[in-house]
């Protein structure tokens, strides 16, 4: 079986269309079809052809090494260059969070405290002067009996607040057919990249966030933080999600 026939057969078994492989690998759809026909002329040379074969094979969970060896034997015209990341499927990068400016906050707090102390000192001196002047000019008022102070009302009963989940948990089940999936954790590490066969499932956990890409959304069923979200999609094939702790929302 040739290189193109091997890739086409593996793609069909993975339940992916040419359009889905094109979107996952960023290889143009006509070029994907040409590779499946063993037509590598449009790849632009051995370097790019090897990269397309490697990316294509990885997207459908096939071993690229035997295919690359066959390409070198049949079509190759030079030494094999080292792999480059330009042919890797899309990797979702984690959002960068800015650290709070604690230095500015502490400086503002110190200024506020110093201002408050100075205000209290000068206010106390003015109050003492006013009290002395009043004592020399008027006699003290007669003593009056203080009115009784009613007791404070009892504090309201504390409401029990349900603690939100501390982790995000995602389960992917391939229901109607197999599907390619990619899962990236909050540290930006890809924890899964492959095909989930029909009738099988995979479960993932992270303290803060999980990013999910599915190549065949209508075939997959999602359960997030214990909540069944149903099919991942009703019409789009390649879908992307970002899930965090709490009540999940698709999208």
Q: How far is CA 245 from CA 65, 173, 193, 227, in A?
A: 40, 20, 22, 12
Which residue, chain included where needed, has tokens 């999609």? 233
d(CA 45, CA 75): 10
Cβ–Cβ under 8 Å, residues 207 and 185? no
* Per-residue pLDDT in tens (0 to 9) along the chain, 251 residues: 899 999 999 999 999 999 999 999 999 999 999 999 999 988 989 999 999 999 999 999 999 999 999 999 988 765 544 444 444 444 433 344 444 565 666 777 777 777 776 677 666 655 555 544 444 455 565 565 666 666 776 665 554 444 555 799 999 999 989 999 999 999 999 999 999 999 999 999 999 999 999 888 898 999 999 999 999 888 877 889 998 998 886 54
Q: What's this model's pTM, rounded to 2 decimal places? A: 0.45
Domains present along the chain, CATH in parentheses = 3-87 (1.10.260.40), 168-243 (2.60.40)
């Amino acid at each position: 079986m040739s290189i193109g026939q091997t890739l086409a057969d593996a793609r069909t078994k993975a339940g992916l269309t040419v359009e889905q492989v094109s979107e996952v690998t960023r290889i143009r759809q006509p070029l994907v079809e040409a590779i499946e026909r063993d037509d590598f002329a449009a790849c632009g040379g051995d370097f790019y052809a090897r990269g397309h074969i490697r990316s294509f094979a990885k997207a459908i969970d096939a071993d690229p090494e035997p295919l690359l060896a066959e390409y070198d034997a049949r079509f190759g015209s030079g030494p094999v260059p080292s792999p480059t990341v330009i042919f890797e499927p899309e990797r979702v990068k984690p959002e960068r969070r800015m650290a709070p400016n604690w230095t500015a906050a502490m400086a503002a707090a110190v200024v506020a405290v110093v201002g408050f102390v100075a205000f209290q000192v000068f206010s106390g001196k003015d109050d003492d002067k006013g009290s002395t002047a009043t004592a020399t000019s008027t006699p003290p008022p007669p003593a009056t009996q203080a009115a009784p102070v009613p007791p404070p009302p009892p504090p309201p009963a504390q409401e029990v607040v349900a603690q939100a989940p501390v982790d995000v948990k995602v389960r992917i089940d391939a229901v109607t057919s197999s599907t390619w999936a990619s899962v990236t954790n909050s540290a930006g590490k890809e924890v899964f990249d492959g095909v989930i066969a029909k009738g099988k499932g995979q479960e993932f956990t992270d303290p803060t966030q999980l990013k999910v890409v599915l190549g065949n959304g209508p075939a997959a069923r999602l359960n997030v933080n214990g909540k069944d979200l149903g099919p991942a999609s009703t019409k789009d094939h390649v879908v992307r999600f970002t899930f965090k702790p709490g009540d999940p929302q698709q999208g």
